[in-house]
Amino acid sequence: MTTLYNPLISGFHPDPSVVRVGDEWYLATSTFEYLPGIPLHRSSDFETWELIGHVATRHGQLAVEDVPTAGGAWAPTIRHRDGVFHLVITDAMGRGMLHFTATDAAGPWSDGDLILKQDGSGPLDGIDPDIAWGDDGTVYITYSGLVLGRADKMEHLGILQAKVDLDRHVALEEPRSLWSGTGGQFPEAPHLYAHGGRWYLMIAEGGTERGHGISIARGDGPEGPFETAPQNPLVSARSTIRPVQNTGHGDLVEGPGGDWLCVLLGVRPRSMTRAFSALGRETFVTPVRWADDGWPKIDPVLLNPRAGTRVEIDFDAPLDGEWIAVRALPSDVASVGGGALVLRGTGVTLDDPRPVFVGRRQEHLTSSITATVDVSAGVGGLAVRYDERFHVEVEAGDGALTARAVVAGLVQEWTRPLTASVLDLHIDSRKPDASGTVLARTSDVFHLAATVDGQRIELAQVDGRFLSSETAESFTGRVIGAYAVSGTVSVSRWTAEGDDA
């Protein structure tokens, strides 16, 4: 019996797509403006997942260096055919719709080919591409017709499809309109499946917030016409009290023992009205059953978190794949040597779209991060980042120790003198106090502190709702990391522990 953990992949891992190859499963998720881009997780049992690599590990594969916040790597689809992994994705407001290939999902992956319009004038206009092969080998790219980067930005043309020459990466026809759902906003995330002699078109609709859901239709071929399922939406948490909300954007796969599963995104909101999702969109999983009438039925998503974790890093080896940077590779902004992670400031702060920052996703609702830093030659510290307008940090150097909260242009600081140059910086995310007559009205509370000469100094407490997906209106999630503003900042030890109690 397979234990389905939820979240399946914790922390900022939205828009999952999964493929089975033999007795292994490979799962890809979105990364937006972060690099390395598009992580690949592998499992042999659907319980334990290992990060084995990324698609975008080199400059030029994604043009995220210049994309606006929330642009970049949107919604991959991963498939496997004739010994080759295929991944299609939109580099939103960057290169456009791309096709990557690899013989090993761990990489290296190709540089990425643009999927061009029939006249070759540019990439297909849209997001969330799916790739499927007809019975005769015809390649179909099915996608959401959200137009980006033009005067008619945000125009939505529904779910579209085109046959594509995959050798030349050129559409063989003008895109055709397919079934676009039951009327919910933003029909997106299409996936085509051949099952039981029929073709199924599954999409997300309702927007990726509380109205999110999955709907499906079927036809006799990959081009349709498609008949709407009578029980849509197949899954949605809208207007429910379920602990996992925003469930949608899913992908179907045959799991262990022949049982079918749906991986999908969701959030874990907290507060009195469950209004704030601290970690952003994560990957979840739920069982699927094929009914006698040929329609799939998807179970509601149940919360089943894993046990807590503890990670200790002494930087005596190269950074593992969990470390990411903003619009840059970690190696562009940091180096490891002599038992330390070293960052060299360029004068920009975390308010800049390209900060000197390298971090790891916050994976647990309750967490504690400690970094031992040497600021004798620079200014920097430890931070939680949603984007350049929403971040919280503890900063040291140049004779000062400062806790800071930046929320959409509003800045609050707590500063005291500092004589030490080596100290521990702490950012703890804790449950809010709901005792007495006060109900918890936030997701969590940040406790910002430092340990100097063996004494812990509590600097500030910051309401965690300000770094939630609903407040920041972000597609990403919390990333906790080290940063440098000026000079050289060295981190000699990193400890992260947490749970989901």
What DSSP line would sit under 66-102, residue for residue? GPPTT-EEEEEEEEEETTEEEEEEEEETTTEEEEEEE
Nearest-angstrom CA–CA distance, 172 and 122: 14
Strands 390-397 and 188-195: unpaired
Quote the pLDDT of residue 440. 83
Q: Phi/psi of residue 430, each to 5°?
A: -125, 155
Catalogue the active-site residues: 15, 188
Residue pair 15/32 in contact by the 8 Å Cβ criterion: no
* CA-wise closest residue to 50 among 29, 27, 34: 27
For the chain, 501 residues long, give each residue's pLDDT as a single digit of tens: 789 999 999 999 999 999 999 999 999 999 999 999 999 999 999 999 999 999 999 999 999 999 999 999 999 999 999 999 999 999 999 999 999 999 999 999 999 999 999 999 999 999 999 999 999 999 999 999 988 865 445 678 899 999 999 999 999 999 999 999 999 999 999 999 999 999 999 999 999 999 999 999 999 999 999 999 999 999 999 999 999 999 999 999 999 999 999 999 999 999 999 999 999 999 999 999 999 999 999 999 999 999 999 999 999 999 999 999 999 999 999 999 889 999 999 999 999 999 999 999 999 999 999 999 999 999 999 999 999 999 999 999 999 999 999 999 999 999 999 999 999 999 999 998 876 556 688 999 999 999 999 999 999 999 999 999 999 999 999 999 999 999 999 999 999 999 998
Question: CB neighbours of 454 closer than 8 A, spacing ≥ 6?
Answer: none
Quote the pLDDT of residue 9. 98
Strands 84-92 and 72-81: antiparallel
Query: Domains along the chain?
Result: 17-298 (2.115.10.20), 309-499 (2.60.120.200)
